[in-house]
Chains A and B, each alone.
Chain A
Amino acid sequence: MSDRTILLADDEPDIRLLVRTHLTRHEPWEVLEAEDGARAIAVYAERTFDLVILDQRMPQLNGTEVARALREDHAFDGPIVLFSAYIDAEVEDIASDLGLIAVEKSNMRQLREVVREHLAGDPPTP
Chain B
Amino acid sequence: MIRDSRIVRRLVAVTLAAGLLTGIIGVLLVQVLERRDHREAVTDQMIGLAERTATSIDGRIDALGSQLRLLSSTPGVADLSPEASTQLAIALRATQTLDSLTLYDGDGRAAAAASSSRLLRPPDLPGRDDLSVGTAPSGPPARIIWEGVVPSVELGTLVEDPPGTPAGTLVGIAPLVVLAHEVTAHLDGPSVNALVVGEDGSVIAHRELDRVLERRPFAIDEVVDGDRPATVLEIDGERMLVAAAPLRTVPAWVVVQRPEDGFLAAADAGTGEVTSVFLAVVIAIVAAVTIAGSRMLQPLRPLADAVERIGGGDTSVRTDLGGVGEVEVLAQGFNQMAERLERRRRELEHAEREARESEERLRLMVEGVEDYAILLLDLDGTILTWNTGARRLLGHATDEAIGRRLTASFDPTDPPADPLPLAVQQGRAEEEGWCRRADGDRFWAHIVVTALQDDVGDPYGYAVILHDLTTRRAAQHATEEALRREREAAAELRRANELKDEFLAIATHEIRTPLSAILGSGHVLWSDWEHLGDAERRELVEIVDRHAQDMGFIVDRLLDFTRLQAGRVRVNRVPIALDEEMHRHVELLGPQLDGHRLDVTAESVTVGVDRALMRHVVTNLLSNAAKFSPTGSTIALAASVVGDRLVIRVADEGVGIAPEEHQLIFELFRRSSNDAVVNARGTGVGLAIVKRYVELAEGSITVESAPGEGATFTVDVPVALDPDDD
Binding site for B on A (CB under 8 A): 11-12, 14-15, 17-19, 21-22, 25-26, 57-60, 85-86, 104-109
Please report which residues of chain B, range 499-522, place their CB below 8 angstroms from some CB of chain A when the two chains form the complex: 508-509, 512-513, 515-517, 519-521
> With A and B bound together, what is the CA distance between A34 and B241 in angstroms?
167
Nearest A residue to B679 by beta-carbon distance?
Answer: A59
Q: Are B517 and A15 in contact (CB under 8 A)?
A: yes
Q: Are A59 and B516 in contact (CB under 8 A)?
A: no
Nearest B residue to A105 by beta-carbon distance?
Answer: B516
Q: In the complex, what's the smallest C-beta–C-beta distance from B548 to chain A, in angstroms?
A: 12
> With A and B bound together, what is the CA distance between A19 and B532 in angstroms?
13
Q: Are B675 and A25 in contact (CB under 8 A)?
A: no
Q: Say whether chain A's binding surface is mostly helix, strand, loop, or mixed.
A: loop
Instruction: Decide yes or no: A106 and B679 within 8 Å by CB, A21-B532, A22-B524, A86-B508 being known contacts.
Output: no
Nearest B residue to A109 by beta-carbon distance?
Answer: B523
Which residue of the partner chain, among B519, B532, B676, B678, contacts A106 with CB atoms under 8 Å? B519
Binding site for A on B (CB under 8 A): 508-509, 512-513, 515-517, 519-521, 523-524, 527-528, 531-532, 536, 539-540, 543, 546-547, 675-676, 678-679
Q: Which 6 A-B pairs have the closest CB atoms?
A: A105-B516, A106-B519, A85-B512, A108-B523, A18-B520, A106-B516
Which residue of the partner chain, among B516, B532, B539, contacts A25 with CB atoms under 8 Å? B532
> With A and B bound together, what is the CA distance between A86 and B519 in angstroms?
13
Q: Are B547 and A14 in contact (CB under 8 A)?
A: yes
Q: In the complex, what's the smallest C-beta–C-beta distance from B504 to chain A, in angstroms?
A: 12
Chain A residues with CB below 8 A from B517, complex form = 12, 14-15, 18, 105
Which residue of the partner chain, among A15, A17, A19, A109, contacts B527 with CB atoms under 8 Å? A109
Q: Are B524 and A18 in contact (CB under 8 A)?
A: yes
Q: In the complex, what's the smallest C-beta–C-beta distance from A110 to chain B, in angstroms?
A: 10
Nearest A residue to B678 by beta-carbon distance?
Answer: A59
> With A and B bound together, what is the CA distance between A21 and B676 in angstroms?
28
Q: In the complex, what's the smallest C-beta–C-beta distance from A18 to chain B, in angstroms?
A: 4
> With A and B bound together, what is the CA distance between A107 and B522 in angstroms?
11
Q: Are A59 and B676 in contact (CB under 8 A)?
A: yes
Instruction: Decide yes or no: A86 and B532 within 8 Å by CB, A21-B540, A59-B676 being known contacts.
Output: no
> With A and B bound together, what is the CA distance between A58 and B532 in angstroms?
29
> Which among B509, B519, B531, B679 has the highest number of chain A CB atoms within 10 Å?
B679
Q: In the complex, what's the smallest C-beta–C-beta distance from A102 to chain B, in angstroms?
A: 14
Q: Are A22 and B675 in contact (CB under 8 A)?
A: no
Nearest A residue to B677 by beta-carbon distance?
Answer: A59
Chain B residues with CB below 8 A from A104, complex form = 516
Chain B residues with CB below 8 A from A106, complex form = 512, 515-516, 519-520
Which residue of the partner chain, among B516, B543, B676, contacts A85 with CB atoms under 8 Å? B516
Q: Are A25 and B528 in contact (CB under 8 A)?
A: yes
> With A and B bound together, what is the CA distance between A108 and B547 in angstroms?
16
